[in-house]
Structures are given as structure tokens and as C-alpha cells.
Amino acid sequence: MIDRRILLASVAGLFGIAAFRWLRASPAHAAEKFEIEKTDAEWRAQLTPQQYEILRKEGTERPGSSPLLKEHRKGTFACAGCDLPLFSSETKYESGTGWPSFWKPLDNAIGTTSDRTFGMLRTEVHCRRCGGHLGHVFDDGPKPTGLRYCMDGFALVFHPAAPSAT
């Protein structure tokens, strides 16, 4: 006959394993194919260590550490991995979070997936062309979209708008 303590410990263990599988970090878009695909060695050679950690390993930078946080010129924010234009400076705003924030991406620029890391459900944002992790989107942003695209600044590069020809 099964001892009650053994039965309860077994059930708790099964729940623990199930919870661990749900909470563990896994690449959100591992099976997805992208226009630009490179080997791990090629990405490491192209990107800085910090860019590699964010774009390829879904890391994040310390809040307030990106120089793009204070970028206020007109221009375009592009993927640091493949240079695809992602956000216009017209949609950037100060969210107070410590990361560059935007209320809308450019058309056909990003993809999203569910991210269950850290025991919560979030929406991960990645570059639609190379799959690089950019950050997350939340529904606490300003009008007109009500969205806050909270991006890792080291996953982006900024291209200033050309001076007007007047």
C-alpha cells in the first residue's frame, strides 16, 4: 500500500516538474525561419558581446544604460543585427522605464511571440528579418495605440534623418 506522504510528495513533484517546464527560459522563436540566418559564430563575430547577449540569447540591458534612451533627433531606429528599420523617432516617447520606448513599430518590421520566462506571460518582440530579440510590448502605453514597445537600446542602431535640402 502506498504511504500517504509518498503519494503527496510524488504529486507535488509532478506539479513542480510541470511548473518548471512552463517557467523555464526557451527561445521563443526557435522553430521560426527568418530571411537572415547565420551561425552562432557569425553572429558573435558581427555583434558586440552585449548585442549578442540581447539579440541572440534574449538577454536585457540594465535600465538607463543605453545611449539611445536619450536620443531625440529625427530618424529611424533599426535592428543592430540586420539593420532593418523598426521604429520611427516620431513614435518614441519617455516612458520612465529606463529603456527606449515606442508606441508603434514600422509596418512589417517586427514579430511577436509569447514569453513565459520569470513566471509571467509577456509578449516578446523580435526583428521579423533576422529574429533578433528586441524587447517586449505592454498594453500600458500612450494613445493612439495604448502600447509600449519597451526595447533594449543595444539591440537597436539609430540612423539620423538626412538634413533638409533647403
Query: For residues 108 and 12, is the Cβ–Cβ distance under 8 A?
Result: no
Residue 26: closest CA among 124, 152, 155: 124
Between CA 33 and CA 42 the distance in angstroms is 17
Q: Is 130 a catalytic residue?
A: no
Cell of 155: 539591440
Nearest CA-CA partner of 153 in 57, 56, 50, 83:
50
CB-based contacts of 31: which residues, under 8 Å, 6+ apart?
none
d(CA 95, CA 92): 9
Catalytic residues: 150
